[in-house]
Amino acid sequence: MENINKINRRNFLKLSGLSGGGLILGFNWSSCNSPKDITPIKTMPKEWFGINAFLKIGDNGLVTIYSPNPEIGQNIKTSMPMIVAEELDVKWEDVIVEQAGLNTEWYSRQVAGGSQSIRHGWTSLRMAGATAKQMLVNGAAKQWQIDPSECSVADGIISNKKGESFGFGDVAKVASTMEVPKEEDVKLKKTEDYKIIGTDRGNVDIEEIITGKPLFGIDTKREGMMYAAVLRAPAFGQKLISVDDTEALKVKGVQKIIKLQILQRQKFKGENVMLDKIAVIANSTWAAMKGKKALVAIWENTSPAENTISHKIALNKLADSKSKKPVRIDGDPNTAFAQADEIIERTYESPFLPHNCMEPMNFFASVTNEKVELVGPIQTPEWTRGRIASLLNLIEEHDPEDKDAAKIAREKAFAKIDLQMTRMGGGFGRRLYGDFALEAVQISKEMETPIQVIWTREDDMTAGTYRPAVHYKIRAAIKNNKIIGYHLIEAAVNGNMWSSLADGFPASGISNYQCDNHSLESNVSTGAWRAPYTNFLASAEQSFLDEVAQKTGQDAVQMRLNILNQAKTIFDAHTKLEEEIKDKEKLKAAKQGLMAKGNYEPDRFIAVIKLAAEKGGWGNTPLGIHLGFSAFFSHNTYVAQIAQVKIVDDVPKVDKVICVVDCGIVVNPMAATNLIQGGVIDGIGHSMFGDFTFENGQPTMENFNKYRLIRMDEAPQIEVHYVNNGKSPSGLGEPTLPPAGAAVANAFHSATGVRMYNQPFVKDNKVLG
Amino acid sequence: MATYNLNINGKMQTVEAESDTPMLWVLRDVIGLVGTKYGCGIAQCGACTIHIDGQAMRSCQLPVSAMESKKITTIEGLSADASHPLQDAWRQHDVPQCGYCQAGQIMNAAALLSNNSNPNDQDIDDAMRGNICRCGTYNRIKAAIKTAAKNS
């Protein structure tokens, strides 16, 4: 756990490239929410002084903070710099935020994924700010010839006991040349002293967004740039036989049509598996798209064409089969089920889901012999750069056994690649996979010209890396109206569940527990989709528990608390042993026979559930309102939700959702609440409407006329509450989505008596049971 | 290629484009006004919303050949200094997440407010249904429209 926050000391030593004036691109005055009495520094400094990888200070006290991670709408471009600014002790109004470039020497984990940016960055961002502050203080102390401990800092001003003061700008130059203080000599603030963390700060890109300035990858323009649209196989598992480009070449503006070399499929499942591609290069996006439409290509199946009905049958069959080895087994589930008064068994089904980022996939590449310039929306810049280096054979041959030689070869190759991250019009996991960036690189290399690849919405929806279709079968053994056994079985296209998920709630809270998973191999490419692995598991599990509570006459909330109380006794027993026995081997021996812990802290889980019950009026429901409860822990964050459903014109309508979150310290409440509201609405939208089917290997939905996304009139009000416990922050991009489907399903049941087992809940405008 | 004289954001501009090119791509590729976004190309998402003679239209469906003599307004020309009541309300409510659809949302909302200065929830739902926000900022869009209506 602590390793994730280990800082890279080199971050604080490297100064090259950050000093001096430099070009300030896309800077933002962050003062839009400033109180009236604060006067921000309004002029740019004459000179900047690099203090460390995260910040530079101008001679007038203005501070530039680099946001290291890619921005996909999770608002880390505001919240990560807030953490640095807090420890630097500067006024937020005097901070300019810039997107950092890809730099693995300076930053660790420049990834947008897994809701991990804030959690991983928490210590290094604070240390970056605090170390810089200490250097500024040391610089001031040197000029005053006093001990640094005699200085105090507030809002970018360093003062001594005589009442003299320096602004950060006055000592920035001397500070930039000072020795970097040792880690142990840098003090972090107490949480109660925070002035920026925990306050509402507006999105640093708001001005560009609301005035339509170039900001996103798709907005990239370069001298001589051409546009490329790419034709891919209409169905999964096909190869190209022939293409007739006669008509396409007649389209005015089309310059050239090329076949792209076939890339090997990556080993992991997320890579798009359509290997044969034909690129139409034109002088405008419209001409490229029209040219693509005019291509006449013949394709042939290389593997059987798949369809939704066969997926469904195969997944149900797998869920009924015996797995080779359970992922987790506690107690004696077989005996528990044999001794049960009653067995409740339900199957839950969900379809594939496309990501549908509003900004369709695109990327800019300019490949020359000397340099590769890349600009675009990518959640995994580091990994993508590595793949591009391999694609272009930029990594010189070296002894594969020689690690140093390999590192030098890689660094040499990477020095040629300049990858610039843009703000992304959504990610949701799709932009973890850089297939679109590789296309741009291939085309630019072949065309010897700067290229922007743009996917049409149809390309984006039909050549995706989808959330795999998943079925869950869940069984509960009931004795004396109590759950004595629980069995979770997953069957998913191309596998889904990480083995660690078997340790999720209710594991360790039920004495006899088993979890199995099965994979259905498919030629449809699948990958991470917002809250991978749990986005439908939570729906199935929390719907199931609601039904079990109803059937056994238990209160749905109290039943969960009972399970958590049992999990707590296991958790506490582990904690006690861990405190008493420091020797690893002895500890392991002492834990023999003790049930494994769950992957969650029961106390924190109990706290969010209790607060949700209180805020959502559980047990105290006004007439005409029907409640549904759901709670889930994922991505290190605890979430409990209560959905309120009303019957309007004989149709259940989700009116409001109360969402309680424990993500530890909330860095920027205004942004956090936005992300939580969006996550819940996204979860509800996909549970209700998300449907994606295949016929003859081909997706049957290819644009928003057939694929239904939630719209304003269908989105309920989301009321957000936080558990304030001062713990280190975790992320919010994903964890509020998984429980939302079940909150709605359970409220629908309260309202109508009908259970929702399959997603989507609504088809052809009818609510299904 | 044909030449068209277009009135964009109060300024006459001469562009060369194929007659069937949608205004969306004329704005983005020819003129370089990239605030108007491509989302679906079939008038289903609203990301490309602009004003034609004050009415909200989907620019992906408007061929450039039909645009002469029209008054075209894009997000870049909604206000001279980013001070439209909706832009202020968007700041106040910190509406965007990823931000990609927001220009289209604002343009659509601006047309709503110019036709109905005090819309109720139903009016807002009806007017804004054609604009998808994949991040789900609907609560804030609605609140911001109400604030803007109050401050207009």
One domain, residues A182 and A84: yes
Model confidence at A303: pLDDT above 90: no
One domain, residues B110 and B147: yes
Q: How confident is the model at residue B47 (pLDDT cuts 50, 70, 90)?
A: very high
Q: Which of A654, A671, A641 is nearest to A738 (CA)?
A: A641
Q: How confident is the model at residue A551 (pLDDT cuts 50, 70, 90)?
A: very high
Model confidence at A17: pLDDT above 60: no
For B35, which of A212, A682, A717 is closest by C-beta distance? A212
Type of residue found at A8: N
Q: Quick one: average pLDDT of A581-598?
A: 95
Q: Which of A81-95, A176-190, A334-348, B86-100 has the lowest mean pLDDT?
A: A176-190
One domain, residues A84 and A165: yes
**Three-class HEC string of A200-238:** CCCCCCHHHHHHCCCCEHHHCCCCCCEEEEEEECCCCCE
One domain, residues B73 and B93: no
One domain, residues B9 and B61: yes
pLDDT at A112: 87
Q: Quick one: average pLDDT of A248-268?
A: 80
Domain for residue A169, yes or no? yes
Pick the residue from chain B with its C-alpha nearest to A78. B97
Model confidence at A37: pLDDT above 60: no
Domain for residue A74, yes or no? yes
Q: Quick one: average pLDDT of A239-246?
A: 95
Model confidence at A443: pLDDT above 60: yes
Select from A454, A473, A488 the last residue of a domain.
A454
Q: Quick one: average pLDDT of A415-420?
A: 96
Pick the residue from chain A with its C-alpha nearest to B85. A210
One domain, residues A129 and A277: no
Q: In this complex, do B136 and A200 lie within 8 Å of one another by their Cβ atoms?
A: no
Q: In this complex, do A712 and B99 lie within 8 Å of one another by their Cβ atoms?
A: no
Contacts of B125 in chain A (CB under 8 A): 712-713
Tens digits of residue pLDDT in A453-499: 999 999 999 999 999 999 999 999 999 999 999 999 999 999 876 66
Type of residue found at A657: V
Q: Quick one: average pLDDT of A42-47?
A: 89
pLDDT at A324: 84
**Three-class HEC string of A502-552:** HHCCCCCCCCEEEEEEEEECCCCCECCCCCCCCCCHHHHHHHHHHHHHHHC
One domain, residues A266 and A145: no
Q: In this complex, do B94 and A709 lie within 8 Å of one another by their Cβ atoms?
A: no
> Alpha-carbon distance A86 to A125, whole Å?
10
Select from B77, B112, B137 the last residue of a domain.
B77
Model confidence at A267: pLDDT above 90: no
Model confidence at A8: pLDDT above 80: no
Domain for residue A195, yes or no? yes
One domain, residues B90 and B141: yes
Model confidence at A2: pLDDT above 80: no
> Alpha-carbon distance B123 to A713, whole Å?
10
Tens digits of residue pLDDT in B56-71: 999 999 999 999 999 9
Share of chain A above pLDDT 70, in %: 93
For B18, which of A214, A252, A711 is closest by C-beta distance? A252
One domain, residues A262 and A373: yes
Select from A416, A434, A454 the last residue of a domain.
A454
pLDDT at A322: 87
Q: Which of A323-327, A375-379, A736-740 has the lowest mean pLDDT?
A: A323-327
pLDDT at A108: 83
Q: In this complex, do A426 and B38 lie within 8 Å of one another by their Cβ atoms?
A: no
pLDDT at B118: 97
State the count of interchain CB pairs (< 8 A) between A and B: 190
Q: How far is CA A256 from the centre of its chain?
A: 38
Q: Quick one: average pLDDT of A1-11?
A: 42
Domain for residue A545, yes or no? no
One domain, residues A52 and A191: yes
Q: Which of A4-18, A163-177, A226-240, A655-669 has the lowest mean pLDDT?
A: A4-18
Contacts of B137 in chain A (CB under 8 A): 674, 677-678
Q: How confident is the model at residue A36 (pLDDT cuts 50, 70, 90)?
A: very low
One domain, residues B71 and B101: no
Q: Does B39 touch chain A (CB under 8 A)?
A: yes
Domain for residue A569, yes or no? no
Model confidence at A137: pLDDT above 90: yes
One domain, residues B70 and B103: no
Q: The domain containing residue A297 runs over which residues?
A: 217-303+361-454
Tens digits of residue pLDDT in A213-239: 999 999 999 999 999 999 999 999 898
One domain, residues B73 and B89: no
Model confidence at A268: pLDDT above 80: no
One domain, residues A254 and A284: yes
Tens digits of residue pLDDT in A553-585: 999 999 999 999 999 999 999 999 999 999 999
Domain for residue A478, yes or no? no
pLDDT at A651: 87
Q: The domain containing residue B71 runs over which residues?
A: 2-77
CATH at A25: 3.30.365.10
What's the DSSP call for residue B16?
Answer: E
Model confidence at A530: pLDDT above 60: yes
Please say whether the beta carbons of A632 and A162 come within 8 A.
no
Model confidence at A659: pLDDT above 90: yes
pLDDT at A712: 98
Contacts of A358 in chain B (CB under 8 A): 37, 39, 45, 47, 98, 100-101, 132-135
Model confidence at A16: pLDDT above 70: no
Domain for residue A377, yes or no? yes
Rounded to a whole number, what is the distance in angstroms from the first to the last CA of chain B?
Answer: 43
pLDDT at B1: 86
Q: Name the average pLDDT for chain A.
A: 92
Contacts of A679 in chain B (CB under 8 A): 136
Instruction: Enumerate residues 57 to 116 of chain B having a beta carbon within 8 A of any beta carbon in chain A.
Output: 74-76, 78, 82, 87, 90-91, 94-103, 106
Q: Quick one: average pLDDT of A254-267?
A: 76
Select from B77, B100, B115 the last residue of a domain.
B77
Q: In this complex, do B87 and A210 lie within 8 Å of one another by their Cβ atoms?
A: yes
Select from A190, A211, A232 the last residue of a domain.
A211
Overall domain count for chain B: 2
pLDDT at A27: 33
One domain, residues B45 and B94: no
Select from B32, B47, B77 the last residue of a domain.
B77
Tens digits of residue pLDDT in A488-513: 999 999 987 666 789 999 999 999 99
One domain, residues B131 and B90: yes
| CA-based torsion, A732, A735, A736, A737: positive or negative | positive
Classify residue A103 as exposed, middle or buried by CB count within 10 Å of its CB (0-12, 13-18, 19+).
Answer: middle
pLDDT at A115: 86
Q: In this complex, do B29 and A285 lie within 8 Å of one another by their Cβ atoms?
A: yes
pLDDT at A266: 53
Pick the residue from chain A with its C-alpha nearest to B122. A713
One domain, residues B15 and B36: yes
Model confidence at A350: pLDDT above 90: yes
> Alpha-carbon distance A555 to A549, whole Å?
6
Query: For the stretch A200-218, what's the b/e string if a residue is b when 16 or more beta carbons lie within 10 angstroms of its beta carbon?
Result: ebbbbbbbbbbbbbbbbbb
CATH at B107: 1.10.150.120
Q: In this complex, do B97 and A718 lie within 8 Å of one another by their Cβ atoms?
A: no
Overall domain count for chain A: 2
Q: Quick one: average pLDDT of A367-396?
A: 95
By DSSP bridging, strand A165-167 and strand A157-159 are: antiparallel
Q: Which of A204, A207, A201 is nearest to A669 (CA)?
A: A201
Domain for residue A528, yes or no? no
Share of chain B above pLDDT 90, in %: 99
Q: Quick one: average pLDDT of A228-252?
A: 95
Model confidence at A265: pLDDT above 80: no
Tens digits of residue pLDDT in A673-699: 999 999 999 999 999 999 999 999 999
pLDDT at A5: 41
Q: Quick one: average pLDDT of A652-667?
A: 97
